[in-house]
């Protein structure tokens, strides 16, 4: 309590700086890899991707970022171990934010797409080991995170592989591409509409309190009727627009690729909105806990209300991070793993969206970053292993393995540094 009484305003100011730094890292790394497929396939220019991401990430963070967050993210730490230790909680959240932000900065400078969720979780584990005890860590939760290293990329690679193979066989390699496009592309338009709706309903709006109720206990089944309806409506509109396309102006294959490029833009918007609504909490959750403890004079709550200015801070940090340094990770995802075209990028983004929906409905642990990388790998595998850059893939996988321990290491260092400064 003495720490809060003596240094409350200073701790709050530090929390704002560290949270902004962490949000900047989310923009530079996580958001960048989400838009990398669009840029790498040339469906969008770098500037267009940044503008779209800024609009939809910021909208997701502000409109659907939630008004309440758990004091400790993802149930990684035992809440009871912190109930009587407000001083340690504040120092721990500061250390965790600074540690996760530092690792994201290093990874972004190297062009490594890493998980921001894993970064903050590794940092929280480091704080627990340094400031509490190993018993304060929920190791069973950690094991589910480790499982996501395999589950996320494998699922996404499988879905993207199948999607691209179907696109190639049904449309791109068809004897008459125009006839094939008019026959099959409405089905892909349906998938885009359906999956965009499901991603938005299951992930993008889950923090708003907007509950759908069609009489089902399961959240996926409640979202499914509306998702199907939206998919059908989008497909009907798309089929009508498809009839107006003049396929005689350009070579057929260029026309096909341009159609898939348009579809990619919509999937990119939905993924950006869902990402902004979910992952902004990695930066603002710990800050909300600091604000709650300092403003209450030392009371530790299980849940912390998120003031609007904290949401704005997180959203601003994300978009500035993307705009200033996102090009590094975008380049890795979009150009260095495998060569992407709009049809391949479309399959990768739709495969990633399918994975998010599937995981949300079944409770599987996934990482957005690992999902998108796996999706790009799946598209590359559909063309043969010779089309994959295994050197780059190896570096990416290594960075995934290092993320948890790196976050923990930096958090331990910063925790002892803050403890020496404020507690002597």
Mean pLDDT across the stretch 401-411? Answer: 94
User: How far from each other are the two terminal CA atoms of the chain, in whole angstroms?
Assistant: 15
**Residue 186 DSSP SS3:** helix
39 pLDDT exceeds 80? yes
Proportion of the chain above pLDDT 70, given as a percent = 85
Give the range with max mean pLDDT: 144-148, 152-156, 263-267: 152-156
Angle between helices 2-25 and 390-423 (to 10 degrees): 160
How confident is the model at residue 162, as a pLDDT?
Answer: 95
Mean pLDDT across the stretch 238-244? Answer: 79
How confident is the model at residue 71, as a pLDDT?
Answer: 47
Distance between CA atoms of residues 342 and 348, nearest Å: 10
Mean pLDDT across the stretch 2-18? Answer: 84
How confident is the model at residue 247, as a pLDDT?
Answer: 65
380 pLDDT exceeds 80? yes
How confident is the model at residue 126, as a pLDDT?
Answer: 93
How confident is the model at residue 34, as a pLDDT?
Answer: 73
Pick 80 or 310 by higher pLDDT. Answer: 310
For the residues of 131-158, what is the DSSP string, one character each?
A: HS-GGGB-HHHHHHHHHHHHHHHHHHHH
Mean pLDDT across the stretch 325-345? Answer: 87
How confident is the model at residue 398, as a pLDDT?
Answer: 93
How confident is the model at residue 69, as a pLDDT?
Answer: 53
116 pLDDT exceeds 80? yes
Helical segments of 200-307, H only: 219-243, 252-279, 281-295
Sign of CA dihedral 160, 166, 167, 173: positive
Mean pLDDT across the stretch 89-102? Answer: 92
How confident is the model at residue 377, as a pLDDT?
Answer: 93
Summarised one tens digit per residue, pLDDT across range 188-221 is 889 888 888 887 777 656 555 555 555 666 777 7
Mean pLDDT across the stretch 146-161? Answer: 87
57 pLDDT exceeds 90? no
6 pLDDT exceeds 60? yes
How confident is the model at residue 46, as a pLDDT?
Answer: 83
Among 17-26, 156-165, 243-252, the range scoring the smallest mean pLDDT is 243-252
Q: Give the CB-side neighbour count of residue 154, counting CA atoms within 13 A.
A: 7
How confident is the model at residue 424, as a pLDDT?
Answer: 67
Mean pLDDT across the stretch 323-339? Answer: 87
Mean pLDDT across the stretch 306-328? Answer: 84
Distance between CA atoms of residues 333 and 385, nearest Å: 17
79 pLDDT exceeds 80? no
């Amino acid at each position: 309590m003495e720490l809060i009484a003596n240094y409350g305003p200073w701790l709050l100011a530090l929390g704002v700086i560290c949270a902004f730094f962490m949000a900047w890292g989310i923009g530079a790394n996580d958001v960048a890899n989400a838009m990398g497929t669009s840029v790498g396939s040339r469906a969008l220019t770098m500037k267009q991707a940044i503008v779209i991401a800024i609009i939809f990430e910021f909208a997701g963070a502000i409109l659907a970022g939630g008004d309440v967050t758990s004091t400790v993210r993802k149930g990684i730490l035992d809440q009871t171990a912190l109930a009587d230790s407000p001083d340690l909680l504040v120092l721990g959240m500061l250390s965790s934010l600074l540690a996760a932000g530092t690792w994201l900065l290093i990874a972004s400078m190297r062009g490594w797409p890493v998980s921001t969720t894993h970064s903050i979780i590794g940092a929280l584990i480091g704080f627990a080991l340094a400031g509490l005890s190993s018993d304060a860590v929920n190791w069973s939760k950690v094991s589910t995170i480790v499982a996501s290293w395999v589950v996320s990329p494998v699922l996404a690679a499988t879905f993207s592989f199948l999607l691209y193979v179907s696109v190639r066989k049904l449309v791109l390699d068809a004897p008459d591409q125009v006839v094939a496009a008019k026959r099959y592309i409405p089905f892909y338009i349906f998938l885009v509409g359906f999956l965009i709706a499901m991603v938005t309903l299951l992930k993008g709006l889950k923090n708003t309190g907007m509950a759908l109720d069609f009489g089902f206990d399961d959240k996926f089944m409640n979202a499914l009727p509306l998702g199907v309806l939206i998919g059908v409506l989008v497909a009907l509109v798309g089929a009508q627009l498809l009839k107006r396309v003049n396929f005689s102006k350009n070579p057929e294959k260029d026309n096909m690729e341009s159609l898939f490029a348009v579809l990619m833009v919509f999937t990119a918007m939905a993924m950006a909105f869902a990402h902004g609504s979910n992952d902004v909490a990695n930066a603002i959750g710990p800050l909300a806990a600091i604000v709650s403890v300092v403003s209450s004079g030392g009371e530790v709550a299980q849940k912390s209300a998120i003031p609007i200015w904290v949401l704005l801070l997180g959203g601003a940090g994300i978009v500035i991070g993307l705009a200033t340094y996102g090009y590094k990770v975008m380049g890795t995802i979009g150009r260095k793993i495998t060569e992407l075209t709009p049809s391949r990028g479309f399959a990768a983004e739709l495969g990633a969206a399918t994975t998010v929906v599937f995981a949300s409905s079944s409770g599987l642990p996934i990482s957005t970053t690992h999902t998108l990388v796996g999706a790009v790998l799946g598209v590359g595998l559909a063309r043969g292993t010779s089309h994959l850059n295994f050197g780059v893939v190896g570096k990416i996988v290594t960075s995934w393995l290092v993320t948890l321990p790196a976050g923990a290491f930096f958090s331990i260092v910063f925790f002892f540094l803050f403890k020496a400064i404020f507690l002597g």
